Amino acid sequence: MSTLTRPKTDTVATTPGTLRGPARVLLRMHRKALWAGAALLVIGIGIVVALRVWMASAKELCADGDMTPCGGDYLPSYARTSSELFLSDGGTVLLLLAGLIGVFVAGPLIARELESGTFRLAWAQSVSPAHWLAARLAVPAALAVVGMAVLIAVYRWGLWALRGYPYSHLTPWYASGIFPGTGPALLGFTLLAVAVGALCAVLVRRTLLSMSLTALALGTVALGLGKRRYELWPTGFRQSPGPVELNSGDWVVDMGRLTESGRKLYWEDCYDYAADPLQDIDACWRDLGATAHFSEVHPASHYWPLQLVETGILLALAALAVFAAFRVLRRLHG
């Protein structure tokens, strides 16, 4: 009798339709990676906590912002400027961590088993190919979302301590190094990373190539959203006879001059005047018919609409990737 044939008298430990058994086996097989992920979580929390404690213990000159008693010399503490420097790229670090999860799913979690053939042992028992793949999607997705949610909360807590300081050099809320790590869009990107990793694995079935393709796909998505994020929600349009007054939290997307007909003019239209310090650029604007200034901005109130729209896009892409992964697996293995 073949070793892959289960006798009829065998009792099935895992009933068909449940992921509990495959999930337990998966956690046991990759417990080292699980411990490594827990260590990264603790390290991330520890860094933010250490920065806050360090900043709270440091003394700043004229911390109330009043420079008069200091004779005009304001000196922020080294702890605060260092915290601003580290935390200004926290969103990028969290994106890279989410991408690392997707690379792990693509390589060691799925593609390595398909490449070595060890998946046949599970499929010959009570686990169908669909349940086998579902477990390898559900387990890392659940653990990654919980871990990332904790890191988002800790990161926001760290950024909150930097608010209200005068002469802050912290990059604004819309910066590419901060925005991705402060809201639900990071959770959407994490789920997309898991889904893309699974799709690349079942398509390629080679460990290193699957990991490389996953990293490339996720990097393309992250860069694309970072470049076009301002288009995810309509901007606010402001105009005035003089320079448009802006608030500290405004994300300026576009600005220039307006004619009476509403045509927009930009500095490129008066490039020759702007390049020559002897020329009067205002004369160029008048010759072109400029009568007002305009700005298109995302105020701070657009933070949540931008986050939610980006999250929806990422979740839609993740759903498509999961659907494609199961379709490919069914076509290849039934």
272 and 196 together in one domain: no
Q: What confidence tens digit (pLDDT) does each residue in 200-216 have?
A: 999 998 999 999 999 99
CA distance 83 to 174: 18
pLDDT value of residue 12: 39
Q: Which two tokens stand for residue 62?
A: 């004229």
74 and 57 together in one domain: yes
Residue type at 78 in one-letter notation: Y
Angle at alpha carbon of residue 25, lines to 97 and 13, rounded to 5°: 150
pLDDT value of residue 18: 58
147 and 261 together in one domain: no
Q: Does the pLDDT value for residue 73 go beyond 80? A: no
> What is the rounded (10 degree) CA torsion for 70, 158, 86, 148?
-170
309 and 289 together in one domain: no
Residue at 1 is within a domain: no
Report the 10 Å Cβ neighbour count for 22. 22
Task: Check residue 108 and report its DSSP letter.
Answer: I
322 and 269 together in one domain: no
Residue at 3 is within a domain: no
Q: What confidence tens digit (pLDDT) does each residue in 274-300 have?
A: 556 656 777 788 888 888 889 999 999
Residue at 217 is within a domain: yes
Residue at 102 is within a domain: yes
**Number of independent structural domains in the chain:** 2
CA distance 326 to 129: 9
Quickly state the pLDDT bin for 15 (edges 50, 70, 90): very low
Sign (positive or negative) of CA dihedral 30, 35, 36, 40: positive
Mean pLDDT score of the chain? 83
103 and 126 together in one domain: yes
Residue at 269 is within a domain: yes
Residue at 11 is within a domain: no
Top pLDDT among 140 and 125 is at 140
**Beta strands in the chain, from DSSP E residues, in sequence order:** 236-240, 251-259, 264-265, 290-298
Quickly state the pLDDT bin for 265 (edges 50, 70, 90): confident
CB of 198 closer than 8 Å to CB of 136: yes
259 and 179 together in one domain: no
Letter string b/e over residues 146-160, b meaning 16 or more CB atoms within 10 A of that residue's CB: ebbeebbebbeebbe
191 and 130 together in one domain: yes
- Lowest mean pLDDT of 60-64, 212-216, 240-244, 267-271, name the range: 60-64
Letter string b/e over residues 300-315, b meaning 16 or more CB atoms within 10 A of that residue's CB: eebbeebbbbbbebbb
287 and 316 together in one domain: no
Written as one string, the DSSP assignment of 215-253 is HHHHHHHHHHHHHHGGGGSPPEEEEESSSPP--TT-EEE
- C-alpha count within 13 angstroms, C-beta hemisphere, residue 18: 8
Residue at 258 is within a domain: yes
Q: What confidence tens digit (pLDDT) does each residue in 167-206 have?
A: 667 778 999 899 999 999 999 999 999 999 999 999 998 9
Range of the domain at 282: 251-298
- % of the chain exceeding 70 in pLDDT: 80
309 and 256 together in one domain: no
Residue at 15 is within a domain: no
161 and 271 together in one domain: no
200 and 66 together in one domain: yes
Q: Say whether pTM exceeds 0.75.
A: yes
